[in-house]
Amino acid sequence: MIRSRLVAQRLAFLFLLGCFFFNYPLLSVFNRGGDFFGLPPLYAWLMGSWLALIVQMAWVVERKGD
């Protein structure tokens, strides 16, 4: 019971972090010219932060005991 509550709190935090990552003021910082490994900075930010959130969620859900 305590573990499921802790997992729920961590997932809620990751949801809010995702909302922050994909909100307009932060996205406008990366919406500029240039390229990052051949991608525009905005696309690199979107894909990188999306991947980071997925990895963190998998780590929280699959973690064995605290």
42 inside domain: yes
- Measured in whole angstroms, the distance separating CA 36 from the mean position of its chain's CA atoms is 19
5 inside domain: no
46 inside domain: yes
pTM for the full model?
Answer: 0.86
Is the CB of residue 15 less than 8 Å from the CB of residue 53?
no
Domains identified in the chain, total number: 1
Residue type, 24: Y
Helix, strand, coil abundance in the chain, percent, nearest 5:
75, 5, 25
Q: What is the pLDDT of residues 9-34, one digit of tens each?
A: 999 999 999 999 999 999 999 999 99
1 inside domain: no
- In this prediction, residue 64 has a pLDDT band, given cuts at 50, 70 and 90, of confident
Q: Which domain holds residue 37?
A: 10-62
Close Cβ partners of 23 (under 8 Å, ≥ 6 residues apart): none
